[in-house]
Amino acid sequence: MSIDAAAASGHGQLKWVDLRSSSIKGGTGKVSPGVTGSSAAEFAALLQQAALQSVTGDSSGSSLTSLTDASSLGNLLWQQLGGTAESYGEISGEITQTRPTDYEDLIQTASAKYGVPVDLIKAVIDTESSFNPNVVSSAGAKGLMQLMDGTANGLGVSDPFDPAQSIDGGVRYLSYQLKRYGGEEKMALAAYNAGPGRVNKLGVSNDEELMANLSQLPKETQAYIAKIERARAQYAV
């Protein structure tokens, strides 16, 4: 999710269009494979390679901006992700009982798989797309978790409008940001929205320092963090 690609309750200046008919089944809870074995292996290999490279620190845009083609992933997306493919499993976060949604099974599965709290996942989806799997932002971000095409491809998401793939890919990406910033959720959310480059330029190391320097981030990112917190409180039981 880039600042330009932000959607739903947080960014009223962006226009959504429904590219898919309402016949898409979002509430079945049936998990369709978001990442194939081959794409997962390629993903892991790229991450391993990126672990040997320095983070770009490029502040020109979000890590979830459109990438021209799959060949550019090694130089852009994966350098920003950093870490190794195994690292996301180490993210801590208690999975608490939450208010159910139409995508409960998919969210619970992604939470258990990547270690991201259920209520945080629901808050991100709510803020990004208001749980509309067919939404497209004016910048081209698509689906429940508003993935740009390049990022979706890199995450093995062949259909960003498929709730199972969108949730799996988006939560996986969020888990990398949480890992990158040592579990500091506000920093991870700022990176999800504005890109790691912008967050890294602040020179902060925790959420408290981030909030003290929040005015240096784009206004949309400032509002995004607050909206996630409000939405999260609604889903926590």
Q: What is the DSSP letter of 99?
A: -
Asked about 128 being catalytic, the answer comes back as: yes
Contact indicator for 234, 99 with CB cutoff of 8 Å: yes
Contacts of 127 (CB under 8 A, 6+ apart): 8, 9, 10, 224, 227, 228, 231
Question: 105: burial class by Cβ within 10 Å (0-12, 13-18, 19+)?
Answer: middle
Angle at 176 between CA 72 and CA 62, to 5 degrees: 50
Q: Is 34 left (phi over 0), alpha (psi -120 to 50) or beta?
A: alpha
Q: What is the DSSP letter of 102?
A: T
Active-site option among 90, 94, 128, 220: 128
Which residues are part of the catalytic machinery? Answer: 128
